[in-house]
Amino acid sequence: MSTAPLSAGRYDGLIVGASLATLDAAQGYGEIADAALAWRDGRIAHIGPRSALGADPASLAATVIEADGWITPGLVDCHTHLVFAGDRAREFELRLQGASYEEIARAGGGIVSSVRATRAADEAELLRQSLPRARALLADGATTLEIKSGYGLDFDNERKMLRVARAVGDTLGVQVRTTYLAAHALPPEYAGRADDYIDAVCEWMPRLHAEGLIDAVDAFCEGIGFSPEQTRRVFEAARALGLPVKLHADQLSDLGGAALAASFDGLSADHVEHTSLDSVRAMAAHGTVAVLLPGAFHVLRETKLPPLDAFREHGVAMAVATDCNPGTSPLLSMRQAMQLSCTHFRLTPEEALRGATVHAARALGLADRGVLRVGARADFVQWRIGHPSELCYWLGGGLAQRVFAGGRLLVDTVD
């Protein structure tokens, strides 16, 4: 349990009465019943039982909230493709009729169809289409979002996507971590010239980084994406700029992507359904997080499970994210991602909650959130639940009563 004595001066806010799941320990929810949580200047300034306040709450804070239910850290969606135009609902129908992801992609659908729609939208239109998706994630408890580029596939449109991702955060008052994913698919104008396209991806990177638009670099290392050697070139360019890397790794086959990401001290390897034991060991050695994406697993009706027992045995942290995207994971709820991770991957509710908070923050290189402790960002959610396991039990429904990011109330559904 993380506590701190009451400090001089008034807090910006104080919430009392609810139980806290602090997650501030290696195991367990870190429960504090009938608790008090205070914040100042966007950071948690006090946490502990209400009985330790020793004074009338109204004398301690500018705003005092009497609450019930449970409070958890804010959810961190560490893998999304949230900025895009159009949708791919027709492809969903085709898959139900038997077409595979690879068949749709090779026929001109898949990622390239989203590229066409995204290129056709100007910046204002792209923001208009993206904001409702972000708001849906926030309404269900997300307080930090990662957003990738990768539907532009040329300099101007990748730049447009990254600018819109920044605008999403500015508009909604949450932190958005931007990931440069130009190595997502081969654009039509580079057909048959994948190496030339990788040259371009590496040439655009420092220009976009100089504009403050890139927090991390990603690639799609797969048979229908880019080879390990092409991915390595992208990562070397990122390393030259001091940018961290993450990777769409081993989703459809084992090309050693997770081990490649680990060899660059990657923040995360994502999907990882086909990851080998050797790659698991490499991830453990380099502290690379395994990001589980059960939405795509569910929509694609996959059957190959990630090596979950090996991740546990070797101490590889497992994060959970929505993979919100128009083709394979049109998922707008971190809670639903948590539920699917329990149903498909047999995570425990505690593992799923840690995956959506502590470990998801780590997958973004963020050490100041994902737990409730003094000094952490005041990112937290008050839920209409009697126990944290309910976050993974209920299929849908609005359980978030209040959502705070940096001490600012973003969502309030209390009657």
Q: Is 157 annotated among the ligand-binding residues?
A: no
Residue 361 burial (CB count, 10 A): 26
Contacts of 218 (CB under 8 A, 6+ apart): 148, 150, 179, 180, 181, 183, 184, 245, 246, 247, 248
Token pair of 358 as six digits: 């502590």
Q: Is 179 annotated among the ligand-binding residues?
A: no
Q: Is 387 annotated among the ligand-binding residues?
A: no
Q: Which H or E run contains 114? A: helix 111-120
Q: How far apart are CA 194 and CA 200, in angstroms?
A: 10
Quote the crossing angle between the two packed helices 155-172 and 194-210, to the nearest 10°.
40
263 closest CA partner among 231, 291, 225: 231
Q: Is 393 annotated among the ligand-binding residues?
A: no
CATH pick for 75-363 out of 3.40.50.970, 3.20.20.140, 3.30.390.10, 3.40.50.720: 3.20.20.140
Q: Is 46 annotated among the ligand-binding residues?
A: no
Q: Is 87 annotated among the ligand-binding residues?
A: no
Task: For residue 4, name the pLDDT band (cuts at 50, 70, 90).
Answer: very low
Query: Could you report how far apart the first and last alpha carbons of the chain are, in Å?
Result: 31
Q: Is 248 annotated among the ligand-binding residues?
A: yes
Give the pLDDT score at 101: 72
Q: Is 151 annotated among the ligand-binding residues?
A: yes
Domain-wise residue ranges, the chain:
11-73+371-412, 75-363
How much is the pTM? 0.95
pLDDT digits (tens, 9 = 90+) for 110-122: 888 899 999 999 9
pLDDT digits (tens, 9 = 90+) for 338-371: 999 999 999 999 999 999 999 999 999 999 999 9
Q: Is 327 annotated among the ligand-binding residues?
A: yes
CATH pick for 11-73+371-412 out of 2.60.40.3950, 3.40.50.2000, 2.30.40.10, 2.60.40.10: 2.30.40.10
Q: Is 325 annotated among the ligand-binding residues?
A: yes
Given a cut of 60, whether residue 158 has pLDDT beyond it is: yes
Q: Is 359 annotated among the ligand-binding residues?
A: no
